[in-house]
Chains A and B, each alone.
Chain A
Amino acid sequence: MFEPLDKLLTNPIRLMVMSVLVKVDSCDFNYLKKMTNSTQGNLSIQLKRLFENNYISITKSFEKNYPKTSCRITKTGATAFASHFKALQSYKNLDL
């Protein structure tokens, strides 16, 4: 039986962000931008979507007069990612 996929995580940028955040304690915006190879605007939108769904928490601070955005995965996000990963594995042998 195939488990349903999380629609929010089928987007490659959001999935990449969640995959990084699940591995780390905290991560800054520039690293996520480098990892996802996306534009600042696009990444901001995707982060906002994840934040609105309580998948991540966002902390804004200043470092040497420059704004710094740090992201962390929340418990909801970690649970959703684990469920999504489990669902993906159930599709693994299916040739799509």
Chain B
Amino acid sequence: MSALFGLKNKLVYVCLNLKPFIMNPSDQLQLINDAINKTKEQLKPTSVNFIFWGILITLMSITHLLLPEFIQRSRYSSVLFWTVIPVIGMIVTFVYNIKMGVKKGYETHLGRALKITWGVFNIAWIALVVMSIFKRQNPVEDILFLLGIVLLISAFIIRFKPLVIGGALVLICSILLSIKPELNPLLLNAIAAFSGLFIPGLSLYLKK
């Protein structure tokens, strides 16, 4: 009898200890919902990239526009100006994004799609610059066209309207340069970077 009582106690003990590990279906659904909601793509680091590049390209274009004699003082100085600073910028953003990825601890499918898209853009950008050096032509029109396309792809991936508008404005600047070659490419570059990168980036950063 006492053995039976002991067995009953043991059974109660086991059941009580197992209770937290047995979840009913609604609890399981709630747990799945919580886990999925907590693991969201954080767009603030992405917006920092847009703000950084918006400011950098706008400042570089304005500097070149206001101080042409300084930037173009030798044959390759403007080429160096437009390659060295952006390459440094690429390294800075690369390190920043890696640090943010490590801090976050996960990579969403959306984040991976954005990473691949901008990685391909960087390679294409370098290729366009190299090709323009050989062809001896201004790459601004081609780079803006590429930037506009990539901005639109990113905008549709993250579903963010200001970035769609920004990407469209960059494309318009590129088209304007091709149909009206007399327009100043540096001025259009500054307008495109400010309206296509900085403003959408800032609105993405401030978005709750």
Chain B 94-144 residues near chain A, CB threshold 8 A: 102, 104-109, 111-112
Chain A 46-93 residues near chain B, CB threshold 8 A: 63, 85, 88-89, 91-92
CB<8 Å pairs between A and B, sample of 14: A10-B22, A11-B21, A15-B23, A15-B32, A23-B35, A24-B39, A24-B107, A35-B35, A35-B38, A63-B102, A85-B29, A92-B25, A92-B29, A96-B25
* CB of B74 closer than 8 Å to a CB of A: no
Closest to B109 in A: A25
User: In the complex, how many angstroms separate the beta carbon of B134 from the nearest chain A beta carbon?
Assistant: 38
Chain A 18-37 residues near chain B, CB threshold 8 A: 19-20, 22-28, 30-31, 34-35
* CB of A12 closer than 8 Å to a CB of B: yes
Asked if B31 and A24 make an inter-chain contact with CB atoms under 8 angstroms apart, the answer reads no
Asked if A28 and B106 make an inter-chain contact with CB atoms under 8 angstroms apart, the answer reads yes
User: In the complex, how many angstroms separate the beta carbon of B153 from the nearest chain A beta carbon?
Assistant: 18
* Alpha-carbon distance between A96 and B32 when the two chains are bound, in angstroms: 18
Asked if A24 and B26 make an inter-chain contact with CB atoms under 8 angstroms apart, the answer reads no
Given contacts A23-B36, A96-B26, are A16 and B106 in contact (CB under 8 A)? no
How many chain B residues touch A (CB < 8 A): the figure is 24
Closest to B33 in A: A19
How many chain A residues touch B (CB < 8 A): the figure is 28
* Alpha-carbon distance between A31 and B39 when the two chains are bound, in angstroms: 10
* CB of B24 closer than 8 Å to a CB of A: yes
Neighbouring A residues of B108 by C-beta, 8 Å: 23-25
* Alpha-carbon distance between A22 and B23 when the two chains are bound, in angstroms: 20
Q: Name B109's contact: one of A5, A24, A28, A92 (CB within 8 Å).
A: A24
Given contacts A27-B106, A91-B25, are A12 and B31 in contact (CB under 8 A)? yes
Given contacts A12-B21, A20-B35, A35-B39, are A25 and B28 in contact (CB under 8 A)? no
* Alpha-carbon distance between A85 and B28 when the two chains are bound, in angstroms: 9
Given contacts A24-B109, A25-B112, A26-B107, are A88 and B39 in contact (CB under 8 A)? no
User: In the complex, how many angstroms separate the beta carbon of B114 from the nearest chain A beta carbon?
Assistant: 11
Neighbouring B residues of A89 by C-beta, 8 Å: 29
